[in-house]
Structures are given as C-alpha cells and as structure tokens.
Structure 1
C-alpha cells in the first residue's frame, strides 16, 4: 500500500495592514466614522447634541425652515410612509483660517422615497461647459460686466407637487407627538429638489421678460431698449453678464427679494475654474482644482512628470490574470494630474473664442 504524502498546507497571504484614514475633504465636516478608520480630527470636534454651538446651529436651521414655510404638522394619512431625516454639520472658515460659523443642515433621506408616489421627474438641466466658455468669450470681447451670484438655500425655494411626509427632525420631537411634517417645499436630500428649484427659478426669470435659450436651457437672455443681460445657471451658482450696470443691479435686487442671494461680485471661481481678468482678456485655469485632487489623494508631494506612462511600458493580452497593483494606478493618476498641474496657468480658449467672435471667417483653432 502506497504511503500517502501529506499535501503541504499553503498559508494564506496576510491581509494588508494599511491604515485607513478619513479623506481630507471631510476635515471641515463633523462625521461619525467606524473604529477601523483613523480620524484625523480631534475628538472634541465631533458632533455632540450637548455641545452648545451645534445646538444653536440646529435651532437656526429649524427657524429658517419654519420661516420659509417648508412644512406643516399633520397627522400621517393611512397608507402613507414618512421619510426620515438626518443632520449634517460643517464648520465654515474665513479666508485666514479663522472659524466663521458652525452650520447645521437638515437633510431628508431621499433614498427611502418611492418613485411614482413620493416623486416623479428628477432631471434638472445644468449649464454646459461650452456655453460657459462661449458666454465668457463674448462678454470679454465686448467688455461686458461679468459677475457671479450664489443663491442661499436654493433647494428650499422649490414647491412640492407630490404629497411627501417626513418625521419630525431628531432633537425636536415632543413626547407623545403623533403628527409628522408634511413637506410643502423642497428639502435637501429629496430626489426632486433640484428639479423643483430649477422650475421655480425659470418661472421667475421668464416673468422678468427673460428668454430661455433652446440650445442650452440653463441660459437666459434679456434684450430690450439696447440693453443686453445674460444669466447662466448651474444649480445654485449663477453667472450674470451684461452691458448695463444699472439693469444688472436691478436684476440682482429682484432675485434677492425673491430668493435671497449672495452677491459675490466679479467672477473669480466657477465650477473648479479660476477666472482672472487681464488687459489681454480673460484667463481660465484649473490648477487649484487639480492640486485639490492631488491633496485629497495624498499625492501632493509627487514629482512632476512630462508624460503619463513610464517609458518601456507594454500592454499584454491579459491571458494571465495577475493581482492588481494599486500603486501602479496611483502613479498613473498622479502623472496625469501633474501633466495638467505643471502646465502654464494661462488657458487660451477664451482669447481664441474672442478672436473668432470678432472675425468668424478666420480659423483660429
């Protein structure tokens, strides 16, 4: 009888001991992380219902929502299911790093909504990047005013057509209370919030004699008595350009009376693009946006590279499946980002478009 040879037992490969840490873009927020994640924030900055600054922030948010008529307290009808909500906390800083204020935002848990019952349409158009560049090119060539606006609590201005109910926010329930909040206006987190806000803003601009572009539904133009004003919308960020400062100021005031806006003055930063006006035109740069990505990915200290791939790299047929080496992809991403970040800051697209507007017969591209 042949002896059975014991098959050597293969030890499983040890699991990675990589320390998981909180993404840097969450540093300004108060979050609750599992024990396996190293939190870079000190424990004292975590949300605590007994902390006075966060309690005050929550009180201010509730007062603003009630003043806006966001909901009414009603008994829950039979067959209806209320949506839950949560609090999101963020610390707002000034440009010098000093704490400006503590902000608490009430967010509905929209993922529990049922399509056809709690919401129907959700799509809301946003400005196309080509429209942004074209509008800036025309405004630069004609030396128009280029300003930026920000709408405070934009989603709260949309009216709800559906019958949506939400539980009373945590921390504000009364003992024995059986009523729930029937939402009369949109709330952050609802699936239809962005669409309702866009619909409300569109209706208001049309009432001011603006015309909506058929090529880009986020572009609205006003032209009367030799005055031209254009408004471009990207959710709650608004670019307004025109050739008449008095009319622009009037429109700003009308928007503020209706929605409460923040006038940010001349356009400086929009959708991750830095904007600077010079004597030669308008300069666009995404350097800050790229560096922010590098910082979030922990690759800010990587060396610049003039080309994305390492020299001599060859692609195989993939017949032998090998374990994926994440560091290879990290190096590739770093190279691609640095390829952009190390380019000159000046972007010539606006100047080229300006020349094209001046003389379309010439091919500048």
Structure 2
C-alpha cells in the first residue's frame, strides 16, 4: 500500500491523472501527445503517442524508483503479446503449458470442446476426491486463463462452484478442459490496428441452469470494433420467475459493463458519437427495457436492474433483437 501511494503521488505530481474507472490506470494528455500507464503492484505497462515523452517518463521512474526497462511489450503478468503490422495478438501459451505439465496432461489426447454438451454438474453426484486442494489450485489457474480464453469461461464458471467439495465427476469435467487446452495451447485474442470506433454487446442467459438452486446464468460479450474486449459468465444472485426476467437481469449486468467501458475509454480519449448496440434474443426483455408501463411483470424486480431503462433513455445503449441462432 505504501509503494502504491508513493507511486501515485509521484505520477500525479508530473501531470498524470488517475482513472476513476480503474485506479490502476494513469493518463497524461498534452497538446500533441497522450501517454497511459497501467500498474499492477510493481509491474508497469506504458503506451503513448510520443516516444520522447515515454523516454522522459522512464527516466523519471528510474531516477525515483530504480526500474528495469524490459523494452517493447512481449510478456506481462503471464500474458504474451505478439505485434505485427496488422495488430497485436495476446495469449497465455506458456501459462497454459505450465498448467498442463503440473497436472500431467502434456501427452493427453486433445478434446474438441471444453465441456460435454448438455452436461449439468451438481454437488450430489460422485464421490469426494481425496485431495481437494489439487482441484482448487487447478480451477484458480483456469480462472486466470479466461483472461485470453473466453471460450472456456462457461465451463470454468460451472467448475468453480464446487471448489469447496469437489467430486470425481467435477475432476473429470476439469480434466476435459485441460484436454481441450492441450489441442490449442497458443490460442488467444487478436486486436487489429484498424478497426471501427464503436462498441457493441451481446447478452444472453441460461434460464434456471442450476439444478440445485434454479438460478439462471448470465453471459455477455462486448466488442470494440471487431475485437472482443470484455466477456463474462456468472450465476445470477436470485431466482428469476420467467425467462424474460432472467434475460432482463442479464441485460442489466451487460449495461453496467458497457457504462464502465465508456468511462474507461473516455479516460483513454476515445469518444463515441452514437449509442452502443446491445443485442438480445428475447423480445419481452427488450420491451421491459424500453417500456415504463410493463408494470405487472416487472414490479418484483429489484430497482437496480432498471438501469437498462435509464441508459436507454440517456442514449448510452440501443436495444436490438437478434435471432437465437
């Protein structure tokens, strides 16, 4: 905490502004340049439009704190970055290989999908495993891997519900994820250099997915131009009385993420001139989000979910239907 406070004070003294959306982000704007810093403890990532200003910043940090300059971005917090003329690709291949080696899956037969289609895990089936710490450690590492592997997010979310008392069935399902990773350890995300300055989101849900609590699962993904920048799969905190309500709750979560991204991108000097398109395959949920008089079907929904209506009226988002297919 003392290190962070000292660094923050030093950066603010040189003209940097701390982001309110993300306290680990610092930005500095001058007439002809823009510089941004992302900080995680003592790891620092610097980007900018003026190489001279970046060099000046590094000299200041070295003089004040004695830093080690690692050059151009290629490895940061376990994430590998590869730059080409068309953009930047990020992945966690080294981290993935370490997970596979640690669990003895380097020579395993690859699986085509991270989970068996239609499989619903619960805490009642199977026998408790002898060493649950192995399962907990594995799931913890897989959760961090979802930073660049959105396609395993749903499977890992399901597995993370049973870290307190994992059974042999949960362990087998976790091994399925490892076998899937064995087939594509270097898969990641690509961010193109030239892309449209626009946000668009896709929101969905799995109604009453949990067989024990009957709670639904929220899922969303948000794109900046053609690049995926945010995604999530999470069980909803309450039981929904209808599929429309579950979808509306999923919309509310997505809208909050879109609002946060707007704040964050504004700090990065990215300005949007039109509402964010938010796609949903439930017409009733769209009607709830746009219609104040849908009272009978919405009066039991918590007030915080109605952020959707508020942001539609403010022009932040525009709700659009999309086929389930």
TM-score computed with the length of structure 2 as normaliser: 0.45
Higher helix proportion, which one?
2
Q: Say which one has the larger Rg.
A: 1
TM-score computed with the length of structure 1 as normaliser: 0.40
